[in-house]
Structure 1
Amino acid sequence: MTRRTDDHPDLTDPRVGAPFFSTWRVGTPERQREAAATIARTWERRDWPATGLLGYHVYAGHDGSTLLHHSQWADEPAYEAFVKTHRQERVDEVDTAVPGIERVRLDRYRRYRSATQDGDTRVPGCVVIVEVEFESPDPERQRAWVDAVLEALESEPNPHPGGIGAHFHLSTDGIRVLNYAEWETAQAHIDALAAPGDGVGSATELWKRVQEFPGVKGSTVSRYEHVLGLLPG
């Protein structure tokens, strides 16, 4: 059985050994809504496909064109088994209803560290995905960059009150870091970016170290709204 939930995923769930993120380009807000509704129907009319799949969540990009997918797997073999037995029928049904979807990329990650506030029960109104790409694979550099960001966050003299949490993931290929950042609202994130400094941080030496970190090839920042959560029933 598959059940729908409005709850956001728990990014710190210790059962999740293989968090995956992928992006679709669908083109318009109408097709975003249509694709999300089709995913819901496709999954809800079928049994939950794998005990190793702990949750599947879909987010609509504020750009009006993209969908972000976050699946929480116990391990990678559970995903590989799903691909062999259950994935294609779901893909075919969605593509029939919403033709022309561009599946940009599926990235495999491991959560490294999170920054949250104890007892904070606020529900994110906006999820901000920050992706940083490095020039070459280097797991040690991935960890060092995240450590530098968290040190800057911990010493931030003017933390924005709209920030809820940040969850840093390292791609298994050693190339990328993904920060799944939870914010009260999109406007709170926009206001934080507009404050003095480069990005959401103040103009401190620790943030300067992050901004000038060696080996960074590029970065992107995208805002999303959680539109669908699916869990085993």
Structure 2
Amino acid sequence: MTRRTDVHPDPARPGVGASLFSTWRVGNPLRQRQTVEAVAAAWERRPWPADGLLAYHVYTGHDTASLLHYSQWTDEQAYEAFARTQRLERVDEIDTAVPHIERLGLGRYRHHRSAVREGDRRVPGCIVVVDIEFDGPDPDRQRAWVDAVLDALEHEPNPHPGGIGAHFHLSTDGTRVLNYAEWESAQAHLEALAAPGNGIGSATDRWERVQTWPGLKSSVVSRYDHVLGLLP
């Protein structure tokens, strides 16, 4: 069976071989709520679809118009089998309940490295997704950039206390890095952005290196609230 949970996922969970992220544009806060309800209904009325799906979570965007979907799989093959045989019936039910959802694509990632405060048991009040795109595929560059960010975090002279954890994922096509960052609140993240420096972090040489990395094409920051967790 399928059960609902309010517990946030562990992005560094052992056994996760594929982390899939997708964004839906639904238009407004009412349609956000309606779509979440439709997703829950479509999943809870059916058996859990596959042993290879470990968890599925949905988040509402602070832009009041989008939803983020994050699913954890044992591997991409498990997702492909689900997509061939069981995905369409769920999508059709959701689209009947809330027509005209715009699906912006599926990102395929693998968790790479995490930075968390040791012993920190706070429940995140806000999830911040940082989507980094490079000008072409280069797995070595992906890993080197993450290493540079973690080095800058380790040597940050004024870390904001609202940060809980940062979980870096590498896209399987070699072009993107996604940081699933856990924050105490949206206000804490806004305060960190407003502090001196270009983005999160002080105006140090290490952060400047991160922000001016060769081939860095774009960096998009989005804030979300966790609203639905589904587990077997």
TM-score, normalised to structure 1's length? 0.99
* TM superposition shift of 1:118: 1.8
Whole-Å separation in 2 of the counterparts to 1:12 and 1:139: 19
RMSD of Structure 2 on Structure 1 (CA): 0.5
* TM superposition shift of 1:84: 1.3
Match of 2:99 in 1: 99
* TM superposition shift of 1:15: 1.0
AA matched with 2:217? K
* TM superposition shift of 1:87: 0.4
Whole-Å separation in 2 of the counterparts to 1:207 and 1:76: 34
Aligned 1:1-233 pairs, distance under 5 A:
1-232=1-232
Identical columns (%): 72
Whole-Å separation in 2 of the counterparts to 1:56 and 1:81: 16
Whole-Å separation in 1 of the counterparts to 2:60 and 2:2: 21
AA matched with 1:161? P
SS in 2 for 1:37: helix
SS in 2 for 1:54: strand
Whole-Å separation in 2 of the counterparts to 1:167 and 1:175: 17
SS in 2 for 1:127: strand
Whole-Å separation in 2 of the counterparts to 1:15 and 1:161: 30
TM-score, normalised to structure 2's length? 0.99
Whole-Å separation in 1 of the counterparts to 2:95 and 2:5: 23
* TM superposition shift of 1:218: 0.7
> 1:57-115 deviations in whole A, cap 9, x for unaligned?
00000000000000000011110110111100000000000000000010100111000
SS in 1 for 2:86: helix
Whole-Å separation in 2 of the counterparts to 1:173 and 1:76: 13
Report the number of matched residues: 232
Whole-Å separation in 2 of the counterparts to 1:118 and 1:16: 22
Structure 2, unaligned runs of 5 or more: none
AA matched with 1:82? F
SS in 2 for 1:106: strand
* TM superposition shift of 1:214: 0.5
* TM superposition shift of 1:117: 1.5
* TM superposition shift of 1:119: 1.3
Whole-Å separation in 2 of the counterparts to 1:3 and 1:181: 25
AA matched with 1:10? D
